Amino acid sequence: MSVAGERKKYNVRGTFKLMKTVAGSKEHCCVPRCSASSRYNSVLSFHRFPQDASLRAKWLHGIRRVQFTVTQHTKVCSRHFEESLIRTTAKGKRVLSRDAVPSLFDWNDYSVKRRTGVWERRPKPSTSEPEPEDIEDVPDEAVPDEEAVPMEHEARPTVCVDKEEYERMKSEIEALREQLQTLHLKNSFGLQRFASSPEDIRFYTRFPSYKHLMAFWSLIESATSKMIRVTSRAKRASVTSTVTESPVTRPTKLLAIDELFLFLTYLSTGCTQRELAHRFKIHRATVSRIIVTWANFLYSLLGSVCFWMSPAAVKANLPPEFSAYSDTQVILDCTELRCQTPSSLVLQSEVFSHYKSHCTFKAMVGMSPHGALTFISPLFEGFMSDKEVFRQSGIKNLLTHNTAIMVDKGFLVDDLAPGNVSVQPLSSRGPKWQRQMCWKHSQLLA
């Protein structure tokens, strides 16, 4: 027989198997540095995370998983729990006790070192003192005098401190503490750093002052605990989950109000995400997730609020300069927002604006005579005319025959408005009330 015929054919897939399959299920342990799987192990049991929020937070803190989303398939194997916390039912199923928390891991050698309690008896250390029978053999000169032996509870000596020196050192400590806090605020980029500067608050948030910003925060603070956050895993799986924030389960190291400040800074200044990441000392991907999360949250929370004012409310706050236009309900104008150029040529032709010479989205904004924002339309393509935006915006349903609108010249909607249309060119060369409205309108459109 030839040498080639003597060679045996081995099944590599069947000969070099590392593990033996013992079950058909594919349950894995989510603990870091643990490769336990139910497919190759029939001894271990796998347990789901508890429904209680506080107990689930203890589990996440114990297994050391940060920014981790728990699903119904996320499980922890039984070798991370103490034996006293696992019991077997009558049907042979292994279940955990109600307050069980994983505590055995690879980084603590699967053991929990317990400290001796305060009230537990501890063994006394061995002493080298001579026994009573040996004391007789010691000469009298070697026995110490009773008066020379110090008492067990000897009084501590009194320390005298100069009162003036003590007060000086105390004031110096307070000054250093304030200086350290000031340096910490200067190094950290957050809302507390600019709380005392109305100009900075107006620049970074577009709120008039810190007081106005905190008044807005008090209205939405209770809803932030049920915010639906967007994570990287959720983006891949197209799944969103409601997260109840706590110091343990907070997705980022920023507080909720600092996340709002980051979002407002992004809208007000137009900073890039990389620049905001350097300022707030977080990752750029975290900045992106915060912006998307807060955009969806504020749209869902504030998008359903109707801020259209009734004609009686508008007349009650009508400025004296509008005495000749007392029936004016709203001042309308269109604004355009630049957008990224789409790759499709058809979409480019729809969103390209000849007025801005760029791809834009157009919206119509309405303001009451006394300067309050009362109407914002959806976004339309930049190629659409102002007249078509007025027709599709839905403002015709809010106007009546007894109310009038005020528009700039070139805003030709006379045949579409149910009431009167007052055309007033809002320029900086007109009367004082026109200059004021022009300034308010420009700030609104900005």
Q: What is the pLDDT of residues 377-419, one digit of tens each?
A: 999 999 999 999 999 998 988 888 888 999 988 888 888 888 8
Q: H/E element holding 362?
A: strand 358-367
Asked if residue 299 lies in contact with residue 292, where contact means CB atoms within 8 angstroms, the answer is no
For residues 274 and 246, state if they share a domain: yes
| Integer Cα distance of 85 and 95 in angstroms | 9
Q: Considering its fold, how many domains does the chain have in total?
A: 3
Taking residue 368's Cβ as centre, other Cβ atoms within 10 Å add up to 21
In the chain, which stretches have pLDDT less than 70?
1-25, 114-157, 159, 183-187, 232-252, 426-446
| Integer Cα distance of 315 and 328 in angstroms | 9
Residue 74 lies in a domain: yes
Q: Pairing between strand 328-338 and 404-407?
A: parallel
Buried b (16+ CB within 10 A) or exposed e, 227-264: bebbbeeeeeeeeeeebebeeebebbebebbbbbbbbb
For residues 267 and 341, state if they share a domain: no
The CA-based angle 373-417-323, given to 5 degrees, is 60
Of the residues 266, 285, 302, the one at which a domain ends: 302
Q: 187 to each of 178, 182, 335, how far by Cα in Å?
A: 14, 9, 38
Smallest CA-to-CA distance from 112 within 124, 102, 104, 121 is with: 104
Asked if residue 67 lies in contact with residue 231, where contact means CB atoms within 8 angstroms, the answer is yes
| Integer Cα distance of 334 and 365 in angstroms | 6
Smallest CA-to-CA distance from 289 within 325, 257, 251 is with: 251
The answer to pTM > 0.75 is: no
| Integer Cα distance of 192 and 214 in angstroms | 12
Residue for token digits 């905001």? 276
The enclosing domain of 334 has a CATH number of 3.30.420
For residues 295 and 221, state if they share a domain: yes
Buried b (16+ CB within 10 A) or exposed e, 182-206: eeeeeeebbbebbbeeeeebbebbe
Q: Determine phi and psi for 307, rounding to 5 degrees.
A: -110, 20
For residues 291 and 322, state if they share a domain: no
The predicted structure's pLDDT at residue 187:
63
Smallest CA-to-CA distance from 230 within 292, 319, 297 is with: 292
For residues 262 and 335, state if they share a domain: no
For residues 205 and 293, state if they share a domain: yes
Residue 328 lies in a domain: yes
Taken in order 407, 411, 412, 418, the sign of the CA dihedral is: negative
Of the residues 63, 81, 108, the one at which a domain ends: 108
| Integer Cα distance of 236 and 240 in angstroms | 10
For residues 375 and 292, state if they share a domain: no
The predicted structure's pLDDT at residue 180:
78
For residues 322 and 371, state if they share a domain: yes
Residue 115 lies in a domain: no
Residue 369 lies in a domain: yes
Smallest CA-to-CA distance from 416 within 393, 442, 435 is with: 393
Two structure tokens written together for 13? 């897939």
The rounded mean pLDDT for the chain is 78
For residues 417 and 291, state if they share a domain: no
The predicted structure's pLDDT at residue 234:
44
Residue 253 lies in a domain: yes
The residues, any chain, with a CB within 8 Å of residue 258's CB and separated by 6 or more, are 190, 191, 280
Residue 290 lies in a domain: yes
For residues 218 and 99, state if they share a domain: no
Of the residues 246, 276, 302, the one at which a domain ends: 302
For residues 341 and 403, state if they share a domain: yes
Q: Determine phi and psi for 360, rounding to 5 degrees.
A: -140, 165
Smallest CA-to-CA distance from 23 within 49, 53, 57, 46 is with: 46
Residue 5 lies in a domain: no
| Integer Cα distance of 431 and 419 in angstroms | 25
The predicted structure's pLDDT at residue 389:
92
- Show the domain range for 215: 191-302
Q: Hey, what amino acid is at 78?
A: S
Q: Determine phi and psi for 303, rounding to 5 degrees.
A: -70, -25
Residue 371 lies in a domain: yes
For residues 258 and 374, state if they share a domain: no
Asked if residue 333 lies in contact with residue 445, where contact means CB atoms within 8 angstroms, the answer is yes
| Integer Cα distance of 422 and 440 in angstroms | 18
| 102, burial (CB in 10 Å: exposed 0-12, middle 13-18, buried 19+) | buried
The predicted structure's pLDDT at residue 244:
47
